[in-house]
Copies of this chain bind each other. A is one copy, B any other.
Amino acid sequence: MINFSLNLKTRIHFGKGAISNLISELMPYKRILLVTGSGSVKKYGIYDTVMTELSTAEKEVFELSGIKPNPSIDSVYAGIKICRENNIEFILALGGGSVIDAAKAIAAGMVYKGDVWELFLDDSKFNGALKTGCILTIAATGSESNKNSVITNEKTKEKLGLRNEALRPEFAILDPTYTYTLSSVQTSASIADIMSHVFEQYFSPTKDAYMTDRLSESVLKTCIKFAPVLLKDPENYEARAEIMWASTIALNGLLSFGKITDWASHMIEHELSAYYDLNHGIGLAILFPNWMKRVADESRLWKFRDFAINVWGFSPTLGDRDLADVSIQKTREFFNGLNLPSKLSEVNIDDKYFEIMSENVIRRKMNGTFKVLDKEDIMEIYRLSL
Contacts and interface: CB of A to CB of B under 8 A. Distances in A.
Interface of A: 1-9, 11-18, 21, 208, 210-212, 214-215, 217-219, 221-222, 225-226, 238, 241-242, 245-246, 249, 254, 257-258
A211 B15 CA distance: 15
A219 B211 CA distance: 7
Given A1-B242, A245-B258, 5 more contacts: A3-B14, A5-B13, A211-B246, A212-B245, A245-B257
A12 B8 CA distance: 9
A14 B6 contact: yes
A161 to B, nearest CB: 22
A193 to B, nearest CB: 17
Nearest to A252: B8
A5 B8 CA distance: 13
Nearest to A208: B238
24 contacts: A1-B14, A1-B15, A2-B15, A3-B14, A4-B14, A5-B21, A6-B11, A7-B12, A9-B9, A9-B11, A14-B257, A210-B225, A210-B242, A211-B242, A211-B246, A212-B245, A214-B217, A214-B221, A214-B222, A215-B215, A215-B218, A217-B218, A241-B258, A245-B257
Which among A5, A6, A13 has the greatest number of chain B C-beta atoms within 10 A? A6
A241 B257 CA distance: 11
A210 B11 CA distance: 22
A210 to B, nearest CB: 6
Which among A3, A208, A238, A242 has the greatest number of chain B C-beta atoms within 10 A? A3
A364 B369 CA distance: 54
Which among A8, A12, A217, A254 has the greatest number of chain B C-beta atoms within 10 A? A8
A8 B242 CA distance: 19
Contacts of A218: 211, 214-215, 217-218
A16 B4 CA distance: 10
Contacts of A254: 254
Nearest to A9: B9
Nearest to A243: B211
Given A9-B8, A211-B219, A211-B249, A238 B15 contact: no
A7 B10 CA distance: 7
A222 B211 contact: yes
Given A211-B218, A218-B215, A15 B7 contact: no
Contacts of A217: 214, 218
Contacts of A221: 214
Contact of A3 (B3, B11, B18, B238): B18
Nearest to A213: B218
Contacts of A226: 210
A4 B9 contact: no
Contact of A11 (B2, B7, B15, B21): B7
Contacts of A3: 14-18
